[in-house]
Structure 1
Amino acid sequence: MKPRSYFGPDDLAAMQRLVQRSWTTDSHWHLGDLGWQRPSMADRRIALWEDDEAGQVVAWAWISAPARLEMQAPAGLTGDVLAWFDQEAAGEQQTVTVVETDAALVEELSAAGYRPVDDEPFFRHCLRDLDDSLPAPRLPGGYLVRAVRPGELAARAAVHRAAWRPGRLGEMQVPPVDLGDGESGMTTKRYADIVSHWPYRSDLDLVVEAPDGRLVGTALGWLDEVNRVALLEPVGVDPEHGRRGLGVAVSLACLHAMRDAGATQAVVCPRGDDAYPVPRRLYHAVGFRDAGRTVTYRR
């Protein structure tokens, strides 16, 4: 089966539908992962494998710099995907990130000369049941959590930039790392692209409003209505309002909104290595448990 190149938004929706059809608690991807990464797709080498009779995408893969493969494919097509990767990234140092429980893909990688490495960050897949054990969010006086409102797109994007400045992310690492003092790439236009496509829902896009009316925290939920599982991605707080429990509060509020929308389970995927512990601690604080991890294989 020969792949074709990615063309645009309709293809991304088809990629998301494949993720939805095949989702389990061991899955690498949630359809919300692709929704959040939508604006970056135009800069990647992406291939799709299609079943013409069913009219469906049955496998997809992309290459991000320098030569890292991300993929979703059934066992019968993993060899085809790796062959495409070999051709597209010939002469480069090839790496593939997989979930440790994907035995079929791990076997294919081993046969093709890939070996696991321990010199790169990995990500934990964490799960939480959205049941009666979900506590109510608690906020300091004067703060409130609510869904984002029409007309707040620029302010919503600005909060994300404040929370995800590279310099601040470097300070959160152990030991601290100098990542410079640039800005996150989240512009109003970029966020508008995300919110204008499925499966974004404004009722799952929560913000923290400070006593002065400014937006200072966010948590975004992505609902897979078929599997009734929601992804929490991303969560952020303006560092000027840090250490007040706002990250925990807005995360809990988003989990409640997901449950109200029909989700019975939530998933989140923070970095799991000891060099970047803060996000994982936050998610554990709201009841997530570790359920798996990613592993990087290098050829």
Structure 2
Amino acid sequence: MTLTRHPFRSEADMPRILDLILRMPLSCRHVIDLPWRLSSPAINEGRDAAFWEDSERQLVGFAAWQYYWAALDFFILPGPEAQDVAAQLFAWADGRFRERDAERGWPLPYWVEFRDDDLERQQLVEAHGFLHEEGDRYVLLQHSLANLPPVPTLPAGFTLRLLAGEQEVAAYSEVHRAAFESTSMTPEWRARTIHTPPYRPELDLVVTAPDGSLAGFCVGWFVPERRIAQIEPLGVHPRFHQSGIGRILLLEILRRFKEHGATSAIVETNVERTPARRAYESVGFQQVHTIRGKGKWLNQPV
């Protein structure tokens, strides 16, 4: 079987990638929120993501080194050529990891992640050298949408509304960076998410403070074929952590998910982010899985 690798070009290739992802089991992770991850600046530089076609031009594999999450996302179409796809995919990833080490000037380990019940994926990555054990990285929480509590009233002066499109991505980036204490989010990244095929503006919520600034945000992703929705991301500016707007955003997005036909919602949060986990559990989310990480060195540190 002849396989051909192509660099991923965001807008041109996104629909085909999403079609592949739709054929993957939910245990693969990011089968719902992948458009968010593929909108990042690093991916759109054109070197950290690639896909593979067979001789009939069917897309059979996709991989992306996610710099901002320090993990390799990958999807391989089940079938007779899956083993060959895996071999080429991981060979490409190893080559890219070596390039990154050279560009940086020192080596680092590279990671893959998998759900705790995905033994097939665990065995696959171990067979390709990912043997360094890190343990649990994230928890996966789920919420049935059958019976939802009412959405509380916002504090006086606060307003819940939709993101105002590209004209508000700069303001969004500022509150995102504050909420996650990170500099990775950019207006360009946020603008790209708006143009991805699965994006739904009615699931892109913000809360404004009395002074007009953005106080919090919540972005929802929904795949009708799966009837499952995902929150990615949700955050509140540190100035407003005790205002209750995080809970309001959560319950409002769950209400909208149900309105769209979803039967359940999922969210992942870092194992160390105990306050975020408690916030999700306070509205009815329950832990259903953990996400584990395994790594390998392409160049050993001196």
The answer for the alignment partner of 2:118 in structure 1 is: 102
Q: Does 1:266 align with 2:265?
A: yes
Report the CA distance between 1:138 and its aligned residue: 4.0
> 1:172-211 counterparts in 2 under 5 A?
184-211=183-210
The answer on 1:14 being equivalent to 2:16 is: yes
Contact kept in structure 2, 1:32 and 1:199, CA below 8 Å: no
Is 1:82 matched with 2:90? yes
SS of residue matched to 2:40: helix
C-alpha separation in 1, matches of 2:203 and 2:282 = 20
Letter in 2 for 1:69: L
Task: Quote the residue 2:300 is aligned against.
Answer: none
User: What does 1:77-226 correspond to in 2, within 5 Å?
Assistant: 77-90=85-98, 93-118=109-134, 122-149=137-164, 151-166=167-182, 184-226=183-225
Distance verdict in 2 for CA 1:233–1:296, change over 3 Å: same
**Partner Cα distance (1:13, 1:199) in 2:** 9
Deviation at residue 64 of structure 1 after TM alignment: 4.2
Q: Whole-Å Cα distance in 2 between the matches of residues 298 and 61 of structure 1?
A: 16
Over 3 Å counting, the alpha-carbon distance change for 1:127 and 1:27 in structure 2 is farther
Contact 1:217 1:247 (C-alpha < 8 Å) held by counterparts = yes
CA displacement, residues 58-103 of structure 1 (integer Å, 9 cap, x when unaligned)? 2111224598532112452434422333344358644322222222
Number of residues of Structure 1 aligned to a counterpart in Structure 2: 277
Matched, 1:243 2:258: no
Amino acid in structure 2 at the alignment position of 1:283? Y
2:59 match: 57
Alpha-carbon deviation of 1:285? 1.5
| Structure 1: segments with no counterpart, 5+ residues | 167-183
Tell me by how many angstroms 1:36 deviates: 4.4
Partner SS for 1:142: coil
Runs (5+) with no aligned partner, structure 2 = 102-106, 297-302
| SS in structure 1 at match of 2:23 | helix
Q: Kindly tell me: are residues 21 and 115 of structure 1, through their superposed partners in 2, closer, same or farther at Cα, counting changes over 3 Å? A: same
Matched-pair contact (CA < 8 Å) for 1:116–1:295: no
Q: 1:296 aligns with which of 278, 293, 296?
A: 293
Contact kept, 8 Å, 1:130 with 1:265, in 2: the verdict is yes
Deviation at 1:281, TM superposition (A): 1.5
Cα distance 1:57–1:132, how it changes in 2: closer, same or farther (>3 A)? same
The structure-2 alpha-carbon separation of the partners of 1:223 and 1:64, relative to structure 1 and needing over 3 Å to count, comes to closer
Aligned-partner SS, 1:139: coil
1:254/1:50 CA distance change after superposition, 3 Å: same
1: distance between equivalents of 2:128 and 2:169?
Answer: 46
Tell me, yes or no, if the aligned pair for 1:16 and 1:31 is still in contact at 8 Å.
no
CA RMSD after TM alignment: 2.7
What TM-score, normalized by structure 1, do the two folds share?
Answer: 0.81
Distance 1:4 1:189 in 2: 24
In 1, Cα distance between equivalents of 2:73 and 2:205: 29
- The CA deviation at 1:146 is 2.3
1:163-194 alpha-carbon deviations (Å, 9 max, x no partner): 2333xxxxxxxxxxxxxxxxx34333332222
User: Does the residue aligned with 1:160 lie in a helix, a strand or coil?
Assistant: helix
Residue type at the aligned position of 2:35? L
Pair 1:56–1:290, CA change in 2 (3 A): farther
Distance 2:9 2:187 in 1: 24
* Equivalent pair of 2:64/2:73 in contact (CA under 8 Å): yes
For 1:71, which of 61, 65, 74 is the aligned residue? 74
